[in-house]
Structure 1
């Protein structure tokens, strides 16, 4: 059964919002490439630039979530106490996080450019699981695409899985893109 969104007239079609979550892992970029290849498989191209016209059916947002930096430490062992990082350390870490997020999103936009698809980016700070689900709800996303690191059941249970959490809590359809067969997880 084929679903049509608003009929054959391009002007009456509903624009669908896709969101792809990326982090520093190769699997998230594999998921981004997969999404671009499969969402835009039949998208027409403009004559001038050859870019795919995503305006007719899909709009793509690439989201990256940075974990919040806690500027205090709880040392292990006897004595206890809380230690706070100096202002310069806190600023240095925040700057590094911003640079890392910018590099990740830049790499994602390069993949989009290579596939001739326009995309917007979104950076958020917080727990990735919660923030991605929150973003799908706030932005009325129709499809969320996330990569899977290929963790086994035990590791997934102990470490938690962003993709697994999103599959159960996102307010939209979720596609989890698994790594290619024979690939070893990197992160």
Structure 2
């Protein structure tokens, strides 16, 4: 089963990632005592971070007026977004290491950041990757889950009620 975990700069998303690693990917001690299944499961973990699209870069030049930013400003903002995304994925990498994940390698291509992870335990091997997608987070995360054929999308909760969500 493929599990997508939404990653942002909140404690809630870090907790969601830790919960997924602790409860879905590593077997409990009771599971280790059971005979192995005929075909071992190979769950996949995908860390997904959604970047808001960069539509317009404007700055004020006086009361009631603004100008569009130069292309160099747009590139500067995109570079800052990419750096922030790398930082988020590095924090997610540390959480994975704390939960027993061995090697994590991040490769970046434009705004798509991929990571290859191999988790080996007594009963389970997990492959994982991290991806940065562009779009409004609610829509981008759902679209990524559908495009990647995920069986589960995990997001942190801010404690809002059903109506406010």
TM-score range, shorter chain: 0.5 to 0.7
CA contact (8 A) 2:4 2:45 kept: yes
Separation (CA, whole Å) in 1 of partners of 2:76 and 2:58: 16
* Map of 2:125 onto structure 1: none
* Map of 2:136 onto structure 1: 127
Separation (CA, whole Å) in 2 of partners of 1:60 and 1:43: 18
Question: Aligned ranges for residues 87-102 of structure 1 at < 5 Å?
Answer: 87-102=71-86
Separation (CA, whole Å) in 1 of partners of 2:162 and 2:139: 21
Tell me, what secondary structure is at the counterpart of 2:155? strand
Compute the TM-score of the two structures, normalised by the length of structure 2.
Answer: 0.68
Question: Aligned ranges for residues 1-187 of structure 1 at < 5 Å?
Answer: 16-42=1-27, 56-73=41-58, 83-117=67-101, 118=117, 119-152=128-161, 156=164, 164=165
Summarize deviations over 1:88-114 as a string: whole Å, max 9, x none.
Answer: 221211111000001101111221122
Instruction: Give the CA deviation at 1:25.
Output: 0.8
Separation (CA, whole Å) in 1 of partners of 2:3 and 2:28: 15
Higher strand share: 2
Task: Flag structure 1 segments of 5+ consecutive residues without an equivalent.
Answer: 1-15, 45-54, 157-163, 165-187
Q: Which has the higher contact order (CA 8 A, sep 6+)?
A: 2
Separation (CA, whole Å) in 1 of partners of 2:153 and 2:16: 11
RMSD: 2.6
Separation (CA, whole Å) in 2 of partners of 1:99 and 1:85: 20
Separation (CA, whole Å) in 1 of partners of 2:59 and 2:83: 27
Compute the TM-score of the two structures, normalised by the length of structure 1.
Answer: 0.61
